[in-house]
């Protein structure tokens, strides 16, 4: 295990990590633009990672479509594109270390057994809270179903660059969490922590739907000896009335039939406005590259709103 994310590293390294389970959509565009601009405004690097570990949900051709879409919109990433499905050896090395140090253990409990446990902590974000049944070893004759990481009493606190102070007691909010299914893929929480550390990522800009995952990731970073990045969690794009956004109806994709050569500049301007920025009128006729260049020079992180909203905002044209 190793990390090049040293605290004395002056270079800002950001990243965008879409899942190829569907085309890029307007919520993804907001995250891509914000993460790109936040890294580049500090003269930093912007990495691109395809999070394709959940193979049953991956749609063939979507990763390539996402890359072509980003290129067409004027985004340029640094270094090679990483694919999580090709990095399982790194995740296994990290997991082996957690097991060796006693930070992780085998669990034989089924979902139904966990749900029935009266002493379970409060529900977590990934289902019923885990009561710690297998913490001291598997019941005799019971096969391992998953590998879990031990949580500890106490609060994990961090300052989010958009949402402000955040804290969470992992032991009371879901308990020990899964990092690998016995016969399945590595869990998102472990993979993303290993990938960010291995790529030197020290600035994470992403949607606020992942805000509650952050304390678990910080816990893993500490156990693995990684440096914790700075975090910025963005407001989510919602449908009318605050409903969850339909990816199908809000695709920003070449494969979905959108002409990004014509529409791209308008989508970028709408994304900037959603992020609380005020692009000048002369950018209305500009190309994507010029809009991104203005964004890098003029983006104000303090203006990013905390509340979710529609895209484009109802008070905006288009």
Catalytic residues: 247
Angle between the N-to-C axes of helices 26-40 and 260-274, in degrees from 0 to 180, rounded to the nearest 10: 70
- Can you tell me the distance from the alpha carbon of 228 to that of 135, in angstroms, rounded to the nearest whole number? 26
């Amino acid at each position: 295990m190793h990390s090049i994310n040293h605290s004395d590293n002056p270079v800002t390294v950001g990243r965008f990590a879409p899942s190829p389970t569907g085309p890029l959509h307007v919520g993804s565009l907001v995250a891509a633009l914000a993460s790109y601009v936040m890294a580049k405004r500090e003269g930093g690097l912007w990495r691109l990672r395809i999070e394709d570990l959940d193979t049953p949900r991956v749609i063939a051709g979507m990763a390539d479509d996402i890359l072509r879409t980003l290129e067409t919109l004027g985004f340029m990433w640094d270094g090679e594109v990483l694919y999580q499905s090709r990095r399982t050896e790194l995740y296994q090395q990290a997991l082996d270390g957690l097991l060796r140090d006693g930070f992780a253990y085998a669990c034989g409990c089924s979902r139904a057994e966990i749900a029935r446990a009266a002493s379970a902590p409060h529900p977590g974000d990934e289902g019923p809270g885990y009561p710690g049944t297998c913490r001291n070893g598997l019941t005799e004759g019971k096969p391992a179903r998953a590998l879990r990481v031990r949580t500890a009493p106490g609060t994990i606190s961090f300052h989010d660059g958009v949402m402000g102070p955040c804290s969470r007691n992992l032991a009371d909010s879901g308990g020990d969490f899964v990092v690998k299914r016995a016969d399945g893929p590595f869990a998102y929480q472990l993979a993303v922590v290993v990938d960010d550390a291995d790529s030197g990522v020290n600035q994470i800009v992403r949607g606020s739907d992942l805000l509650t995952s952050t304390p678990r990731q910080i816990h893993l970073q500490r156990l693995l000896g990684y440096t914790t990045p700075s975090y910025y969690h963005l407001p989510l794009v919602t449908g009318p009335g605050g409903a969850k956004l339909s990816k199908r109806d809000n695709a920003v994709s070449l494969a979905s039939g959108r002409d990004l050569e014509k529409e791209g500049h308008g989508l970028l301007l709408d994304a900037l406005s959603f992020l609380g920025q005020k692009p000048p009128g002369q950018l209305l006729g500009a190309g994507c590259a010029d809009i991104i260049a203005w964004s890098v020079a003029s983006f104000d992180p303090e203006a990013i709103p905390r509340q979710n909203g529609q895209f484009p905002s109802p008070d905006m044209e288009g």
